[in-house]
């Protein structure tokens, strides 16, 4: 039943071959370390017994040999560690036999021959220098594959009702799959297909003027801006992560940081780090209700002040604050009052505020009003307030690659557009987006009501299941996700156990996101994306229940064993 009891402290979700490879790297490492220890010991013995040696020259020779061997062993270790770190999905050319052979060879030469330390050293160096990637290239690859390997596994083995009924169901990636039918239909209408000369030629890198005008109109209307928004303040790029990456580049220097209340969508951490080398400093929110925490994960100005103070104490240069509204993964919507307080806090400290409102039209309880930051009569610091929106979530077209920046700061708008040619959108796509956004009648009368209804139904279905399982969750009515608490299935309640549970979901071909990925301080939280078609959602929830049942059985067995031991 449980695969966890099988072997080693290796997460059980990995494939067998990977486990084996990890194992072999692990043993290789141990082996190399052992040799290293041995050699060092001998090295010291020789150094200590220096006076006892008759021939000084031979002694020096021996020490050189030892040093050469030491450095080679170190090199091998680093190589092994690197191959382990970057191995991700694809097997590395480095073969375990080879390196192990090398170690033995090294040991042998030390006894028999007289190896020249210089060529050996350069051999080792050569393995680094001739690596095809730059160091940062290696880092980027490693970071990417560690963050997205499960997503990539899903891409290769997607669930399909008939063709692949045993494939992965993804409740971990925030995508709205509920209205694909409406979108597909809309996108096939005749106004969508336009091929004009200007669409095929080099564009205005800020985005085609017609699209920026439409985005300004769209945001004026749906954000209820008190005055018409200006197309000149709009920059259009291929996705919100590109917007975020460009903003991080132009607002921060490498090593500087943004504050961000957590739990928080981890993709942004990735975006700020990858190119821009900007750090995100968490403002940890807590689930427990206390005198100052009137509801779970409440964001207060005091917490912001405290986090800022602490970060500055540690010598961090904080340049801004990142907010998501509606919040991802909590689904919280900030009231105009609290929003104002956060903005005033930022102004007090000369911080930029990047507000991601990418879920603004995914509020599915009509009694709740969303207040965009663009709806405010006056912004405390308009030149430092930057709004991000895209169609990926609200229109469920993440494959379109569209993200927009709205900022009153002309300087920022102009310099972000310098990144336009690296993050540009096809002219043909820009036309489609423009047509989509301008048809407010279809959006208001057809798309939004249907989308809200379907989101509500899916949410109702999932939360009913959660209630039946007595799983606590953050009950909100916006976004595509529920933030759920699986602490009771973890014993002890640690991030390692959280990871193991995550792996167990994966073993059952269910992809979820765990709290750690959202930089949550408390282990045991998961984010579940419910915006999927009902048949898939049903099957996913069945797998979900199975996993938790299995986990519960394990816990019982474990507790019994513990009791027996006592």
Partner 1 sequence: MFALPQKNFRAPTTCLGPTCTQDMDRSHGDDLEGECSRKLDQKLPGVGDPVMLSSDTSYLSSRGRMIKWFWDLAEEGYRTYHMDEYDEDKNPSGIINLGTSENKLCFDLLSRRLSQSDMQWVEPSLLQYPDWRGHLFLREEVAKFLTFYCKSPVPLRPENVVVLNGGASLFSALATVLCEVGEAFLIPTPYYGAITQHVCLYGNVRLAYVYLDSEGVRVKGLILINPQNPLGDVYSTEELQEYLVFAKRHKLHVIVDEVYMLSVFEESVGYHSVLSLERLPDPQRTHVMWATSKDFGMSGLRFATLYTENKDVATAVASLCRYHGLSGLVQYQMAQLLRDRDWINQVYLPENHARLKAAHTYVSEELRALGIPFLSRGAGFFIWVDLRKYLPKGTFEEEMLLWRRFLDNKVLLSFGKAFECKEPGWFRFVFSDQAHRLRLGMQRVRQVLTGKSQVAEDPHPSQTQKPSDQCSSAELLKLCFSPGPPSPIKQN
Residues 144-183 that bind partner 1 (CB under 8 A): 144-145, 152, 155, 173, 175, 177, 180, 183
Shortest distance in whole angstroms from residue 395 CB to partner 1: 9
Decide if 221 contacts 444 (C-beta within 8 A): no
In the numeric block, the tokens 């690296």 are attached to: 422
Looking at the Cβ atoms of 311 and 471, the one nearer to partner 1 is: 311
Which of 400, 401, 406 lies closest to 387, judged by CA? 406
Looking at the Cβ atoms of 33 and 143, the one nearer to partner 1 is: 143
Q: Which stretch binds partner 1 (CB under 8 A): 105-113, 207-215, 296-304, 443-451?
A: 207-215
Residue 463 within binding range of partner 1, rule CB under 8 A: no
Looking at the Cβ atoms of 521 and 536, the one nearer to partner 1 is: 536
Sequential DSSP letters for 302-338: HHHHHHHHHHHHTT--EEEEEEESS-TTT-----HHH
237 vs 420: CA distance, rounded Å = 6
Indicate which single residue of 399, 563, 565, 566 sits in contact with partner 1 (rule: CB under 8 A).
399
Cα angle at 56 between 54 and 59, to 5 degrees?
Answer: 95
Lay out the site mask for partner 1 across 17-56 (x = CB under 8 A, - = otherwise): ----------------------------------------
Looking at the Cβ atoms of 9 and 399, the one nearer to partner 1 is: 399
- For residue 406, give every residue at least 6 positions away whose Cβ sits within 8 Å of its Cβ, in sequence order, or none: 215, 216, 219, 229, 233, 234, 374, 386, 387, 388, 389
Decide if 358 contacts 393 (C-beta within 8 A): yes
Q: Which stretch binds partner 1 (CB under 8 A): 60-68, 361-369, 422-430, 491-499?
A: 422-430
Number of chain residues interacting with partner 1 (CB under 8 A):
91
Decide if 500 contacts 523 (C-beta within 8 A): no
Looking at the Cβ atoms of 56 and 90, the one nearer to partner 1 is: 90
| DSSP 8-class letter at 531 | -
Residues 234-273, interacting with partner 1 (CB under 8 A): 238-239, 241-242, 245, 249-256, 271
Indicate which single residue of 427, 515, 523, 524 sits in contact with partner 1 (rule: CB under 8 A).
427
Residues 90-149, interacting with partner 1 (CB under 8 A): 90, 129-130, 132-138, 140-141, 143-145
Instruction: Give the Cβ contact number of residue 393 at 10 Å.
Output: 23
Looking at the Cβ atoms of 152 and 475, the one nearer to partner 1 is: 152
Q: How far is CA 398 from CA 390, 392, 483, 527, in A?
A: 9, 4, 21, 19
Shortest distance in whole angstroms from residue 542 CB to partner 1: 22
Start-to-end C-alpha separation, the chain: 26
Residues 208-227, interacting with partner 1 (CB under 8 A): 208-210
Instruction: Give the Cβ contact number of residue 42 at 10 Å.
Output: 15
Shortest distance in whole angstroms from residue 194 CB to partner 1: 8
Shortest distance in whole angstroms from residue 172 CB to partner 1: 11
Indicate which single residue of 63, 187, 379, 555 sits in contact with partner 1 (rule: CB under 8 A).
187
Residues 287-346, interacting with partner 1 (CB under 8 A): 319
Residues 120, 124, 130, 135: what is their CA dihedral angle, to the nearest 10 degrees? -150
Q: Which stretch binds partner 1 (CB under 8 A): 52-60, 200-208, 439-447, 553-561?
A: 200-208
């Amino acid at each position: 039943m449980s695969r966890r009891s099988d072997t080693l402290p290796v997460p059980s979700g990995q494939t067998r071959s990977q486990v084996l490879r990890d194992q072999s790297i692990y043993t290789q490492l141990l082996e190399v370390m052992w040799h290293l220890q041995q050699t060092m010991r001998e090295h010291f013995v020789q150094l200590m017994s220096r006076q006892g040696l008759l021939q000084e020259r031979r002694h020096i020779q021996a020490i050189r040999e030892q040093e050469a061997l030491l450095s080679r062993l170190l090199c091998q270790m680093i190589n092994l560690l690197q191959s382990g770190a970057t191995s991700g999905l694809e097997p590395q050319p480095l073969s375990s036999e080879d390196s192990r052979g090398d170690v033995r060879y090294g040991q042998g030469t030390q006894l028999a021959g007289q190896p020249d330390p210089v060529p050996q050293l350069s051999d080792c160096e050569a393995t680094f220098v001739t690596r095809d990637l730059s160091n940062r290239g290696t880092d980027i690859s490693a970071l990417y594959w560690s963050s997205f390997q499960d997503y990539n596994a899903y891409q290769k083995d997607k669930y399909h009702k008939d063709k692949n009924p045993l494939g992965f169901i993804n409740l971990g990636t925030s995508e709205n799959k509920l209205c694909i039918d409406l979108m597909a239909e809309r996108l096939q209408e005749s106004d969508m297909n336009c091929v004009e000369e200007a669409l095929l030629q080099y564009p205005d890198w800020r985005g085609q003027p017609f699209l920026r005008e439409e985005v300004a109109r769209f945001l004026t209307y749906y954000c209820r801006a008190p005055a018409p928004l200006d197309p000149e303040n709009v920059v259009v790029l291929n996705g919100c992560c590109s917007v975020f990456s460009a903003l991080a580049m132009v607002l921060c220097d490498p090593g500087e940081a943004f504050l961000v209340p957590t739990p928080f969508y981890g993709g942004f951490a990735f975006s700020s780090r990858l190119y821009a080398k900007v750090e995100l400093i968490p403002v940890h929110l807590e689930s427990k209700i206390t005198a100052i925490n009137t509801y779970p994960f409440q964001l207060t100005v005091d917490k912001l002040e405290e986090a800022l103070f602490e970060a500055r104490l540690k010598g961090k240069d904080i340049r801004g604050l990142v907010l998501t509204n509606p919040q991802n993964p909590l689904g919280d919507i900030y009231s105009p009052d609290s929003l104002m307080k956060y903005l005033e806090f930022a102004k007090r400290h000369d911080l930029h505020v990047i507000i991601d409102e990418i879920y603004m039209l995914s509020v599915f309880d009509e009694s709740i009003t969303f207040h965009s930051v663009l709806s405010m009569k006056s912004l405390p610091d308009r030149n430092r307030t930057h709004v991000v929106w895209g169609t990926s979530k609200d229109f469920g077209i993440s494959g379109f690659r569209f993200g927009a920046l709205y900022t009153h700061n002309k300087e920022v708008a102009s310099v972000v557009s310098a990144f336009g040619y690296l993050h540009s959108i096809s002219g043909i796509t820009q036309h489609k987006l423009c047509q989509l956004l301008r048809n407010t009648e279809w959006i208001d009368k057809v798309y939004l009501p249907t989308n809200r209804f379907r989101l509500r139904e899916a949410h109702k279905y999932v939360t009913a299941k959660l209630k039946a399982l007595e799983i606590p969750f953050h009950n909100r009515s916006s976004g595509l996700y529920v933030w759920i608490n699986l602490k009771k299935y973890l014993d002890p309640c640690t991030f390692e156990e959280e990871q193991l549970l995550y792996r167990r979901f994966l073993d059952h071909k269910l992809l979820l996101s765990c709290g750690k990925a959202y930089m949550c301080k408390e282990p045991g939280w998961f984010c579940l994306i419910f915006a999927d078609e009902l048949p898939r959602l049903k099957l996913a929830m069945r797998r979900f229940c199975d996993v938790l049942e299995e986990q519960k059985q394990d816990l019982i067995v474990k507790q019994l064993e513990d009791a027996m031991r006592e």
